Amino acid sequence: MKKNGAQIALESLRREGVKVIFGYPGGSVLPFFDAMYEMKEPRFILTRHEQGAAHAADGYARATGKVGVCVATSGPGATNLVTGIATAHMDSVPMVAITGQVKTFLIGNDAFQEADVTGITRPITKHNFLVKDVKELAQTIKEAFHIARTGRPGPVVIDLPVDVQMASCDFHYPKEANIRSYKPTLESHKGQIKRIAKAIEKSEKPVLYVGGGVIISGASHELTELAKKYHIPVTTTLLGMGAFPDTDELSLGMLGMHGTVYANHAIQESDLIIAVGARFDDRVTGKLDEFAPHAKIAHIDIDPSSVSKNVTVDIPCIGDAKHALHGLIRALKKKPDTEKWLKKINEWKKKAPMKYKDDNKLRPQYVLEEIYRATKGDAIITTEVGQNQMWAAQYYKYTKPRTFLSSGGLGTMGYGFPAAIGAKVGKPEKTVFDIAGDGSIQMNIQELATAVLEKVHVKIAVLNNCYLGMVRQWQELFYKKRYSYTYLSTCSCPDLVKLAESYGAVGIRVTKKKDVRKAIEKAIKIENTVIIDFTVEEEENVMPMVPAGQAINRMIGGMA
């Protein structure tokens, strides 16, 4: 059956099981949008900015585990996707972005709305394609989805010139993408698994250091079994939140720059770190030379280039986390004796728990605790970037994977709100909260129209402190309180309540601690998108904190 390129693209997306596309039209994707006219499936969600579409596709992918799809036109449409694509790339999120391109014979001519999209996105994608022949389109889409969702997932861009969208050919959707040069290793080497098992059996102070890879691989169950059966404490990275229940007594919470005191001390005193699906990011390790000085390091990861990149690994193990952990549980013959170790950790927990000043003032940490209470820990939390993100990681307890969505690697302000929309589309039964700051929320505020008109009812908690809080905090601590351009005075400009109302959403302002609980409960009940504007303490800091470049047990607000 003959179809044109646009119809082939759309039908190929259906064959890949795509249920929703986020995007924005323009001149070079007109044939594709024409093919979507009056279609029933997939659902198309028109955002108000291409960046919103990219982040929404990302949020959808993180919440569901499926590939997120976004579409934009050539030139500025495509460049507006770039931040969203880079965000997905840094955090290994499966995404396929389709961009219109000028006609093939105009490529390179500086044509209207032309940009070298494969060139621009090369370093921020797992792979990208420029399709010059309609006969290659179906195979390309098959390969794009295969690359995006397998191995260490990531975004793939398909640049599709408008004349290729209009050209016709016979349509057959290939059954498989056979890429000779791309065969990710799934099953780990048995010998390496055995070596890790032996190291665990001998260890007295083991720590499981867990990253987003465990969530991506769906290995939370295996991880929890391993930790609980063999009494090994677990610390997670920002992207690993939810891989292991925060409520479990073996949980150490997050490690690193704003991690818990006890997680960081456990790492520094450990004799064996079992890293799973984590990449020893600088926000985790602090000063590299002094990171975990007594520990042997085992590293399970699907990406060989993550192993021994920053920290030299003693027992590398390449493979999928689920396979590897399953193998590890089977390979373990006896329990390590960790009783003393766990006792010591519990003493640290008592000595230096996560805490903030509990007084009558409206403090941001309290807002997070109340959101946790009101949602019974069952919500999906997305975050912007900065203080809001860290408090969301520290004061909400995550017990299930895919419930904490945050731009960890790239640190993209403006991510949380569109990501919340994407998450809610993928998981409509869940309450979805975007934890925002008064700075970040304005970076994609236009998506209020998308949320309201598409009836994707998300809740936005703005921790409004009138500042770009995290940058201000660094200025306070390391730049002699010289608050250079971090005061936003957004407490009044814009008036977020009125702004919400102007979009047809609901705005609630909370200025007193005693009103927090009621406002959150009310917002959850309202069947609409709600902004709760919490006027919080202006100069509250995220604590504890490892100053950049220090060893991670040398924390401000740590143990004396």
Partner 1 sequence: MEKFTLSVLVENKFGVLARVAGLFSARGFNINSLAVAETEDPSVSRIIMVVDANEKILEQIKKQLNKLIDVVKVIDLTEKDYIDRELVLVKVKVDTKTRDKVIQAVDSLDAKVVDMGKGSITIEEVGDTKKINATLELLGPFGISEIVRTGRIAIQADSKE
When the beta carbons of 126 and 513 are compared against partner 1, the nearer one is 126
Interior CA angle at 523 toward 447 and 429, to 5°?
A: 75
When the beta carbons of 76 and 108 are compared against partner 1, the nearer one is 108
Least gap, CB of 392 to partner 1 (angstroms): 31
Least gap, CB of 147 to partner 1 (angstroms): 6
When the beta carbons of 167 and 302 are compared against partner 1, the nearer one is 302
Out of 76, 168, 170, 179, name the contact with partner 1 by CB under 8 A. 179
Out of 11, 34, 271, 303, name the contact with partner 1 by CB under 8 A. 303
When the beta carbons of 139 and 446 are compared against partner 1, the nearer one is 139
Out of 176, 181, 482, 527, name the contact with partner 1 by CB under 8 A. 181
Question: Does residue 130 belong to the site contacting partner 1 (CB under 8 A)?
Answer: yes
Least gap, CB of 89 to partner 1 (angstroms): 12
Label each residue of 205-264 as H, E or C: CEEEEECHHHHHCCCHHHHHHHHHHHCCCEEECCCCCCCCCCCCCCEEEECCCCCCHHHH
Question: Does residue 182 belong to the site contacting partner 1 (CB under 8 A)?
Answer: yes
Cα–Cα distance, 228 to 243 (Å, whole number): 14
Q: Which of residues 383-442 bind partner 1 (CB under 8 A)?
A: none
Cis peptide before 42 (omega within 30 of 0): yes
Cα–Cα distance, 94 to 151 (Å, whole number): 10
When the beta carbons of 313 and 390 are compared against partner 1, the nearer one is 313
10 Å Cβ neighbour count for 334?
10
Question: Does residue 108 belong to the site contacting partner 1 (CB under 8 A)?
Answer: no
Least gap, CB of 215 to partner 1 (angstroms): 21
Cα–Cα distance, 502 to 311 (Å, whole number): 51
What does residue 359 show for φ and ψ, rounded to 5 degrees? Answer: -125, -155
CA 515 to chain centre: 31
When the beta carbons of 124 and 390 are compared against partner 1, the nearer one is 124
- Residue 383 bridge partners (DSSP): 435
Place of tokens 């987003």: 212
When the beta carbons of 147 and 315 are compared against partner 1, the nearer one is 147
Least gap, CB of 17 to partner 1 (angstroms): 22
Out of 17, 76, 108, 304, name the contact with partner 1 by CB under 8 A. 304
- The sign of the torsion formed by the CA atoms of 540, 235, 321, 282 equals positive
Least gap, CB of 181 to partner 1 (angstroms): 4
Least gap, CB of 305 to partner 1 (angstroms): 4
Which residue intervals of 49-177 are DSSP H helices?
A: 50-64, 76-90, 117-121, 137-149, 162-166
Over the window 110 to 129, marking each residue x when it contacts partner 1 by CB under 8 A and - when it does not, the resulting string is --------xx--xx--xx--
10 Å Cβ neighbour count for 560?
4
Give the C-alpha distances (Å, rounded to integers) separating 529 from 46, 168, 414, 501, 524.
16, 43, 17, 10, 9
Q: Which of residues 243-262 bind partner 1 (CB under 8 A)?
A: none
Least gap, CB of 182 to partner 1 (angstroms): 5
Out of 117, 147, 275, 300, name the contact with partner 1 by CB under 8 A. 147
When the beta carbons of 131 and 470 are compared against partner 1, the nearer one is 131
Query: What would the two tokens of residue 422 be?
Result: 């994407």
Cα–Cα distance, 164 to 98 (Å, whole number): 13
**CA Rg value for the chain:** 24
Report the Cα–Cα distance between both ends of the chain, in Å, rounded. Answer: 74
When the beta carbons of 74 and 118 are compared against partner 1, the nearer one is 118
Whether residue 6 contacts residue 31, with contact meaning beta carbons closer than 8 Å, is answered with yes
Question: Does residue 309 belong to the site contacting partner 1 (CB under 8 A)?
Answer: yes
Out of 40, 110, 176, 305, name the contact with partner 1 by CB under 8 A. 305
Question: Does residue 136 belong to the site contacting partner 1 (CB under 8 A)?
Answer: no
Place of tokens 């921790």: 463
10 Å Cβ neighbour count for 170?
11
Cα–Cα distance, 519 to 532 (Å, whole number): 8
Whether residue 548 contacts residue 536, with contact meaning beta carbons closer than 8 Å, is answered with no
Out of 104, 308, 399, 446, name the contact with partner 1 by CB under 8 A. 308
Which span sits near partner 1 by CB under 8 A: 190-198, 243-251, 301-309, 446-454? Answer: 301-309
When the beta carbons of 179 and 559 are compared against partner 1, the nearer one is 179
Question: Does residue 289 belong to the site contacting partner 1 (CB under 8 A)?
Answer: no
Least gap, CB of 203 to partner 1 (angstroms): 26
What does residue 123 show for φ and ψ, rounded to 5 degrees? Answer: -80, -5
Least gap, CB of 67 to partner 1 (angstroms): 16
Least gap, CB of 103 to partner 1 (angstroms): 17
When the beta carbons of 304 and 504 are compared against partner 1, the nearer one is 304
Cα–Cα distance, 393 to 381 (Å, whole number): 9
Which span sits near partner 1 by CB under 8 A: 192-200, 307-315, 333-341, 463-471? Answer: 307-315
Q: Give kind and range of the element (H or E) at residue 409.
A: none
What is the binding site for partner 1 (CB under 8 A)?
118-119, 122-123, 126-127, 130, 147, 179-182, 303-305, 307-309
